[in-house]
Chain A
Amino acid sequence: MPSRWRQPLAELGWPIGIGIALLMLWEIAVRTLGIRSIILPPPSEIIAAIIARRELLLTHLWPSLYLTVLGFALSVVGGILVAVLITYSSILRRSFYPIIVVSQVVPKISIAPLFIVWFGTGTMSSLLLAFLIAFFPMTINSALGFQSIDEDIHRMARTFMGSRWQIFWKIRMPNALPYIFSGMKISITLAIIGVIVSEFVASQEGIGYLIKLAGGLLDTPLMMAAITVLSISGLALYGLIAVAEQRSVYWQSSSDVSGSAGG
């Protein structure tokens, strides 16, 4: 095992231990206080529900995950493209950048019903909402990364006859990578929120739909099971990005650059 993994794993020990302790406390409290599982099911019952209804959960999980990843991917591509445009065109930067920033005042989740009106209750609405929410931190972080290159490095590349194209690919892009990854880590969690909210509002499938449905049926264990499965999936997606970051931003530790813009 490479030594750089040992440290994070050791640091995970504490939160995992405390997490397990809290779950046990929850289990004991629910049982001794006699709380009905329709109000708050104990962890054991949630786990049982996950196992018993795994097919139902998976049926609804896949479309949500699919839309999340797709919306996220679109936001990454779109965010980086817009960031490049903003970096190289001062007209675009001065005209669009303030609009993008000001538009963040609108709570994007409130647009969900509007999207249903425009794009129907299908996957299009979910996808677009996920994209819209995830897009902003991607753009801001990437733009910051592209623009934050050291003036000395820029000058060095110019004295060695570097072209704008070379300076972009060989300097700006790698320099922006840590920032892009910070943006991606924020965007993936936001994309999940976008999809779930859209499924709450109007959808016939997806984990958000299942949570709402279980709520309507007062099937709290199923609701909690769906939330748990969703959370674990979200954590896995986040973890994938974190691993990719460790691999590609090998020259600095991830704590050197922290997320600079939330959504």
Chain B
Amino acid sequence: MRTYLTTLDNPWRVFDELMTDFPFDFLNNAWRARTGQYPRVNAWENETGLVVEAEVAGVDPDKLDVSVDANVLTLKGEKPLSGGAKSEFQRTFSLPFELDSENIKATAKNGILTLSIPRRAGSEKRRIAIEKQ
């Protein structure tokens, strides 16, 4: 009862709950990355587009699914485990610009998937001139 009252009185309760959720999620992802269930990714960008490299050792390239929806890139796959079991993974990246889903170039070598995706026409970074008064 006492705990209940304390909780009820604590105006930061909601905030605390949000904060305790966060590190668990973060650790979970870190752990999954370490055990190879969650592919680690390097990404680069410039004015023309985006390059993404993901560690997908052991993932059958036919079982890799790359999709782009406006500014969201999703990477899905399936990896065989011991004894015929499978593990599925999915990572989604939200980008500050839109991508051209028609012109994705994907290659896989030594267990690294390399994606080269141009920015969608009209989505290039542009400078806005400030009018002098």
The yes or no verdict on A and B being binding partners is: no
